[in-house]
Amino acid sequence: MARRTWKDKRQKGSGTARFLVGLFLLVLLIAGGAGWLLLTPYGPSAETFVNLAPGSSATRIARQLEAAGVVRSQYAFDLLRVLERRTLRAGEYRFDHPSSAIEVYERIVRGDVYTRALIIPEGANIFDIAARVEQAGFDTRQNFLEAAVKQVPLVSDLDPRAKSLEGYLFPDTYRFAPNTSSAQIVAVMVHHFRTVAAQLGLKENVHKVVTIASLVERETAVDADRPLVASVFENRLKKKMPLMTDPSVIYGLELEGLWRGAIYRSDLTRDTAYNTYRHPGLPPGPVANPGIPSLRAALHPAETGYLYFVAASNNAQGHSLFASTLDEHNRNVAGYRRAMKKASAQ
């Protein structure tokens, strides 16, 4: 009787051991499978985009990723979410190579959304920027131009006279998500302008400074010439002489849809508010969006007696020619024409 009891216990003990071994092997199998699902690279080798809408649940995100072929199993992604309990960020994501589920999860937690570059050069005006926004695929040209007018309150404290955001869309290289609206784009650019203005100490006479800076920007690309060009505008304003600057004439034509790609003699007599050959003083506002060197030049123009210049962009020698008298200016113009003729003959 006692011998049978010992045997029964031994059999019971061996059964428990087998169960524990089986359980251990099952856990190892599950862990191995989970590790394989989480750590083994998987996904597209070609460019694939997944747009995670705001407010999407983690389960929906996991389904989207599996359906797009980005992760091998939505359940593996769900497992990460249960273990980590971190916030997943909405947006458009770009996948172009196999990655582990953990890498995909970390990207979405970081909000590593796909962005496109928007490159705005110094001196670009709202028409130039609108064309670049459309070319980059963010929004239509017309929507951007409308936003540049509707969002004027963004600068009303800086320039109560502003009719658009011209002058306040700071030139730089920006990166935006593909679905970024024109209103959002201009807000970022204006914020950048405000940051730069604070760094330069631009607090007073903002309208005048930015308007002059925009003219300087369009008249010369040579940094050393900018303070001298600004001095010419300041000197002419003091003497109540018309500025007679082509960039403002061109801008007036662009506003009216009359710009033909080149300036003609008849354009100089066309009566627009921006025709600084006909109207003394500054044009109604900026004609482009200046960079830091031009803003600095307008803030701190050189002290000169110059009243005239031949713009560097029109000079074969690559720099502006300055003059204090009309006779001297006429000689500079004649010299410029000879140099241009010589350059074209070579």
pLDDT in tens, the chain (346 residues): 445 555 555 555 565 656 555 555 454 445 444 554 555 777 787 889 899 988 888 889 999 999 999 888 888 888 888 877 888 988 889 998 888 888 888 999 988 888 999 999 999 999 999 999 999 999 999 999 999 999 999 999 999 999 999 999 999 999 998 889 999 999 999 999 999 999 999 999 999 999 999 999 999 989 999 999 999 999 999 999 999 999 999 999 999 999 998 889 899 999 999 999 999 999 999 999 999 999 999 999 999 999 999 886 644 456 789 999 999 998 988 887 777 677 666 6
Burial 61-77 (b: 16+ CB within 10 A, else e): bbebbbebebbbbbebb
Q: What is the pLDDT of residue 315?
A: 47
In this structure, how many other beta carbons lie within 10 angstroms of the beta carbon of residue 100? 18
DSSP reduced 3-state for 94: strand
d(CA 270, CA 252): 9
What residue segments make up the domains of the chain, in order of their start?
48-110, 115-200, 206-346
Cβ atoms within 10 A of the Cβ of 28, count? 10
Residue 32's pLDDT is what? 47
User: 48-110 belongs to which CATH class?
Assistant: alpha beta
The pLDDT value recorded for residue 319 is 78
Q: Which helix (H) or strand (E) holds 95?
A: strand 91-95
Q: What is the pTM of this model?
A: 0.79
Q: Given this model, what pLDDT does residue 126 score? A: 97
- Looking at residue 282, what is its pLDDT? 96
Give pLDDT, residue 31.
47
pLDDT at position 272: 93
Query: What is the three-state SS of 230-251?
Result: HHHHHHHHHCCCCCCCHHHHHH
